[in-house]
Structure formats: structure tokens, C-alpha cells
Amino acid sequence: MSAPYVSRVPFESVHPKTLAVYCSDGRFTEAVEDLARHLGHPRIDTLTLPGGPALLNRWASDYLESEGFTKAARFLIESHHIEDVLLLAHAGCGYYHAKHSALGPDIAVEQQLKDLHFGAKELQTAYPHLRIHLYYVRPHGKTIEFEPILREG
């Protein structure tokens, strides 16, 4: 047997109090962690599937997939005592392209924003104590911008 690889990243036994819900698209992974650090959350729990927060909206995504994703979010929030949630949608998301491309890119963005607001409302209703932050993520050349989206209502 070969020797195990030991990561330089130290293990911390305390769970992070922040959960980031975003798309699996690896082009944004490090930037999301960077945003979280910038916001004062050095470590995060993550919940990722293609489309990210899209799956919190059972009316606009596959119902069973949405149910599983929402259950996973609830599990993390409850058992890890999450206090802050980041919901992030990104430009050029393949999930939305596959699902809504016939409607054009503007409609896809509109749907992404709807899904962010829907997910935020659902989680806020279930967990009034949560601080929920919404972002729309856009690459600009070699940089990645996180536009904060104001909560509805």
C-alpha cells in the first residue's frame, strides 16, 4: 500500500455556520469561497448541483430532484446550525441553457432571479433566523463579479 496523502489544509472540527448553495460549475468554486471569506466566512458548507438554487424552486425544476435538494439544504441548516446562507446563480449556466434556451438568454436570467427569490423566501419562512444573501455571478474577462441582489418584500 502506498502512503496516504496528507493535506496541508488543517482539519477543524467545528462546523462552519455558513452554507453556500450554488452550481456545480467548477469555474466558480474558488471564487465563491473567496467571496465567502470576503464576507467574513472563512469556511463554508456547500450544496452544489447543476443549477444550484434553481433546485430550491420545485415549480420550475424537476419535482423529485428539487425535493431531494431542499431536504439536503434543510439537513445542513438544522444539523450544522447554519446562520448565513448564500444563494448564487451564475451567467451562462448550462443548467438554465439546457432547460430554458428556447426562451432566450434574457428569460433565463429572469428565471434565475425568480429562483433565487423563491429559494430565499422558502428558506426564510422555514428558518426565520437565517441571514440569506443573494448573488448573481458574472465573469468579466479574467475576473468574476458578484452582484448582490436585493431581497424581495
What is the binding site for Zn ion (CB under 5 A)?
A: 23, 25, 93
**Closer of 19 and 93 to Zn ion (Cβ):** 93
Q: Do residues 53 and 88 touch, judged by C-beta distance below 8 A?
A: yes
Task: Judge residue 65's burial from the number of C-beta atoms within 10 Å of its C-beta, 0-12 exposed, 13-18 middle, 19 or more buried.
Answer: middle
Minimum distance of Zn ion from residue 124's CB (angstroms): 23
Minimum distance of Zn ion from residue 70's CB (angstroms): 18
Report how far residue 64's alpha carbon sits from residue 25's, in angstroms, rounded to the nearest whole number.
21
**Closer of 23 and 134 to Zn ion (Cβ):** 23
DSSP-derived pairing of the beta strands 143-149 and 131-140: antiparallel
Minimum distance of Zn ion from residue 50's CB (angstroms): 6
Q: Do residues 87 and 52 touch, judged by C-beta distance below 8 A?
A: yes
**Closer of 81 and 97 to Zn ion (Cβ):** 97
